[in-house]
Structure 1
Amino acid sequence: MLIVCPSCSSRYELDAAKLGPAGRKVRCASCQTLWHVDPAQENFPEAPSAAETQALLNEELERASEIDAQISAVASEHTDTVEPPPPPPRKPGKGKPSPAKGAKTGQSHPRRAATFVALGLGGAVLLGLLVWQRNLAVRGAPQLAIVFEKLGLPINIRGLSFSAVESGLVEDGQNRFLVVEGDVTNISKGRAPMPPIEVAVKDAAGQTLYTWTTEAPRPSLEPAELVRFRARLASPPEAGKSVLVRFTSAKPKGLASAH
């Protein structure tokens, strides 16, 4: 079924079977609006037809052709052949100048400029592709993540986002527990697998005192679907001042050893 955000009109595909008889709350990946989706609703916008999809594809192909034509036109302006200057008049008693050498020298500068222009355009196009598909670029070369972070470009390979994360101490008789909970939203346009969640306890200086891993509340999330997670640690470090929550590929092994 197709759902539409009531705030910004963003569209998402959602499996109606995942809603259940009472419906479910979902969060918009674009504007973070939270609303309830009722499985009995019938006024959903229709999905685009095959003809509309093909028209959009043709429009994107035309734009790509126009960009290629503009790049070719700019490159051709710098690769026009420049006629070499006429040889100097022959003087008595002097050696005969070499026309071939003079012609080669006269043509080297425009060719070199055209090469620099072509390299510059190629680099600009490559950089644009890397920024546009930065998530795919980081999957292939993880070291690029640092570069994109310094440029202020967000990287989210998993397509999952934490929000409303809270932590607090709970005492149960003689026992003392640290409880950490929050929301996880699928901000991608497809189903996203949900890996285990790692929680780190940090001191006032930001040093990690203790980490542990907990199972995800659900194996995967549909687009724009939101789920609540909860993790608990018995006898947390006394010097703990904050927690850091992130996804990890490690499997939960109970309580992790202290750092």
Structure 2
Amino acid sequence: MIITCPACDTRYTLADSAVGPQGRKVRCAQCGHMWWQSPQDEAAFPPDAVTEFHPVPPPSKAPAAKKSAPGKPPADPGARRRALVGWGSFVAVLLAIGAAGYFGRATVVRLWPPAALFYETVGLPVEPPGTGLQLQNVRSEQKAEDGKTALLVEGQILNVSEAARTVPALRVTALGADRQPLRNWTVEPVPPQILPGEIATFRDVQTDAAGVLEVMITFDGGR
């Protein structure tokens, strides 16, 4: 079935079983709007949609296998073994892809935000980057270096949760007049993982920062 966000008209394709006969509450990964989705809602199928059915021709009969001529050498005994190895490799690749989608779902959602709705539907919600972490003692300073204006950005990240946390990269956006973005870049804090109550630090210097009046720092989640 196809569901459409009533706020931003973004469409998603879901299996009927994901909504269930009684309906359920869903959230738009694009704009964050939440609504109750019923399987009887007209929005499940847009009024201008046309579904066409095409007949499938019956499978043609395979020609009868010819009998092996007398004296023909038997089939290669290693062919079956190679086929089993090939199928095993195929299954291993599928399992690896599934594991990457499960453990790396934060990266998947960062690259393709609509995937958040799928993960939430199957009971695997994705925490926003920086969950359980808190920026503190952040400061920025402009100074002259070799005749150019350099921008220094530094601060700390505190783990305020009760579990070990991976520290995501930080995205720094330089703002100019009227808070217009001039450029952005990422900074890697150290260490990359901290225990409850521990602190990671970051420090970065950008040269040629003329025109920068303000900086905005957010968790990027690109690890």
Q: What is the TM-score when the length of structure 1 is the normalising length? A: 0.36
Q: If you compute each CA radius of gyration, which structure gives the higher value, 1 or 2? A: 1
Q: What is the TM-score when the length of structure 2 is the normalising length? A: 0.41
Which structure features the higher share of helix residues? Answer: 1
